[in-house]
Structure 1
Amino acid sequence: MAGMVKGPAIFLAQFAGDAAPFNSFAGMCKWAASLGYKGVQIPTWDDRLFDLAKAASSKAYCDELKGIASSHGLAITELSTHLQGQLVAVNPAYDEAFDAFAPKEVHGKPAERQKWAVDQMMKGAKASRNLGLTGHVTFSGALAWPYVYPWPQRAPGLIETAFEELGKRWKPILDAFDEAGVDVGYELHPGEDIFDGTTFERFLEALKGHKRCAINYDPSHFVLQQLDYLEFIDIYHERIKAFHVKDAEFNPTGRQGVYSGYAGWVERAGRFRSLGDGQVDFGGVFSKMAQYGYSSWAVLEWECALKHPEDGAREGADFIKHHIIRVTDKAFDDFAGGAVDKKQIKRALGLK
């Protein structure tokens, strides 16, 4: 065993706002600590909370942030570059929509936007190092996603070419994170080219098994895909370096299933829920994490179609706390054991 899960922690992205305490890093740390959280994951695109360029160039600024968190009994768990990572690879069908994730000066300029996104990721590596972090979370972006369920059929070689290009774009970024000593946990998410195990394997192959290419495990996305999220841990545990604790439910009807017929979130067969309100077997998830020695953070990512976010955050802290397993350092039947006696062992096996 490598250790036990750390937490509870909370991803600040869905809670940030323009009113106190949600409009500053210090305010959010005080709020998170009051709910019982022990760590915070920071969205690097939200300048109300964080200055990525400053963090990449100034260790003093990073020490200041760590000091603010520490004063409230918190650690910084990871930095998130989900929005910037999305822009490393964008299919032209989504150019206009994803411009919203980038500065206005690169809107309508896909090549310049992609260059900006790569620079953001490079800054993310430096900032993570300056904060003394060992993990980072992001999205991969998508070139092939419009062809995930194609009609007419895809052109031969399209998927192979897309993943070759995706690997080419991410290789220098992962090299920068390797130099910083930081693993990059990709959130496997519909809308990204890596959204399940087989697509992650394609990406990893394109990267020739890059040691910093890792997974930000989030079972909610697997429930909505009807993928076995517990066996996923059995298969990929060596690459799981981050963990978003998020719940979901899938209730198919005679009218809709996985694709949900363009329904709004409340009406969908598959929807995200607050912790404990969905169908994820978190007892099983945390048991698997304990079994394989996962020793990084369990981070609440709150998304729910029904519940108020502040209620979800309050309930989530206790939910995660009660699911973390303190890994035992002895076997339950040690009391019945005895000293090693090699002669006795041979007799028991009928050996001379």
Structure 2
Amino acid sequence: MKTIKGPAIFLAQFMGDKPPFDTLEGICKWMAQLGYKGVQIPSWDARCIDLRRAAESKAYCDELKGRIEACGVQITELSTHLQGQLVAVNPAYDLLFDGFAPEAVRGNSQKRTEWAIEQLRFAAQASRNLGLTAHATFSGALQWHTFYPWPPRPAGLVADGFAELARRWLPILDAFDDAGVDVCYEIHPGEDLHDGVTFERFLAATGHHRRCRILYDPSHFVLQQLDYLQYIDFYHEFIRIFHVKDAEFRPSGKSGVYGGYQDWVDRPGRFRSLGDGQVDFTGIFSKLAQYDYPGWAVVEWECALKHPEDGAREGAPFVARHIIHVTEHTFDDFAGRDADHAFNRKVLGI
């Protein structure tokens, strides 16, 4: 069995305009002082990484790694959540997602998609140059606006949607395969990959591409009322990145899973800082240890109530307490004996 690496933290929610959150070194040193050992890098933030340069220059990547490690942490993965979202955008969401792209491609969905795909290709090469083996992203969505089947979906719509999504992603998956890096899709409402069934549909549409993998985040399953522990039983072989994020679901006679268009603080399902929600992290860390999860436990802080700095301070010891230092032998080895075929036959009475 493998001991999960960590604690680590995703920097996206913490980058800001004031020290120490306005520079890579500043935020990495701050996180290291809190007890974090790794950081997940948002590749769209130029303060953290020049993605194109990282794709083209091993020397730049070596220098970047050195700067980060000098702060007391290491890079766990790169993230292209924003760029991955733009690989597939239904026109209904064009205006809302244009802000994820640079100004030069806004208002032009084709150029925006081409830019996003180029970004993913850069991320594949950058990950290889940094010595990483997994990458965090979103799948994007062509059919999320049809997730509730009213009006009834036209026959074949879902199959056609996943076929097109796979068509767009297959060249990217091949680029990551060439780089030796897994593409880990965060299973997330708003994406066409938002539960187990949709992941299976996409996986099949890609021809079971060997780089098609999962970023597991239980908070999104709490909000969907999906069994997040059994999910690990079903898909543990695909899970290569783990976001440690808490959530709660408190439905009422007025609102449930869909949230009533309310702001986060008023929704029945909302994200919480670690330990403040309902997620059974003891069960999750136990299952991931049981199934030899090979990666990091990465805190993704999002909370409707608590200040982010408090969430970060509490997150490192929370994860450290839950990481199981796996045993190298079974507890009853002292009472066992070496394999003996003849003895076994006697025990069996044969």
Same fold by TM-score greater than 0.5? yes
| CA shift for structure 1 position 341 | 3.6
SS of structure 2 residue aligned to 1:248: strand
- Once the two structures are TM-superposed, the CA of residue 319 in structure 1 deviates from its matched residue by 0.4
Matched residues, percent identical?
67
The residue number in structure 2 matching 1:68 is: 67
Q: Which amino acid aligns with 2:30?
A: W
Equivalent-residue separation in structure 1 for 2:125 and 2:243 (angstroms): 23
* 1:281 pairs with 2:280: yes
Give the Cα separation in 2 of the matches to 1:256 and 1:313: 30
The residue matched to 1:316 in structure 2 has which SS? helix
Q: Which amino acid aligns with 1:192?
A: E
* 8 Å CA contact 2:217, 2:243 repeated in 1: yes
SS of 1:326 mapped into structure 2:
coil
1:172 corresponds in structure 2 to: 171
Q: TM-score, normalised by structure 2?
A: 0.99
Instruction: Quote the Cα distance in structure 1 between the aligned partners of 2:295 and 2:138.
Output: 19
Letter in 2 for 1:8: P
Letter in 1 for 2:233: D
- Give 1:250's aligned residue: 249
Q: Which residue of 2 aligns with 1:229?
A: 228
Per-residue displacement from partner, 1:44-103 (whole Å, max 9, x unpaired)? 001122111111111111111110121122110000000000000000000011000001
Q: Conserved in 2, the CA contact under 8 Å of 1:121 and 1:173?
A: yes
Paired with 2:339 and 2:207, the residues of 1 have a C-alpha distance of 46
Which residue number in structure 2 is paired with residue 208 of structure 1? 207
Contact 2:29 2:72 in 1 (8 A): no
Letter in 1 for 2:102: P
Cα RMSD for the two superposed structures = 0.8
What's 2:314 paired with? 315
**Amino acid corresponding to residue 205 of structure 2 in structure 1:** A
* Amino acid corresponding to residue 87 of structure 1 in structure 2: L
Structure-1 separation of matches of 2:140 and 2:334: 53
Q: Give the deviation of 1:127 after TM superposition.
A: 0.6
Distance in 2, Cα, partners of 1:342 & 1:237: 34
Aligned to 1:267: 266
CA distance in 1, matches of 2:339, 2:139: 52
1:331-342 mapped onto 2 (5 Å cutoff): 331-342=330-341
The residue that corresponds to 1:346 in the other structure is 345
Structure 1 partner of 2:117: 118
For 1:46-61, what aligned pairs fall within 5 Å after superposition? 46-61=45-60
What code does the residue aligned with 2:181 have? V
- Structure 2 gap ranges (5+): none
**Counterpart of 1:244 in 2: which secondary structure?**
strand
Which secondary structure does the structure 1 equivalent of 2:6 belong to? strand
- Offset of 1:33 from its aligned partner? 0.3
Measure the CA separation in 2 of the matches of 1:50 and 1:83.
15
SS at match of 1:26: helix
Residues of 2 paired with 1:18 and 1:212: CA distance?
36
Off by >6 Å, runs of 4+ in structure 1? none
- Alpha-carbon separation, structure 2, partners of 1:339 and 1:193: 51
Q: For 1:13 and 1:200, how far apart are their aligned partners in 2?
A: 25
Amino acid at match of 2:22: N
Q: Which runs of 5+ in 1 are unaligned?
A: none
How far, CA to CA, are the matches of 2:223 and 2:307 in structure 1?
21
Q: Is the 8 A contact 1:37 1:74 kept in 2?
A: yes
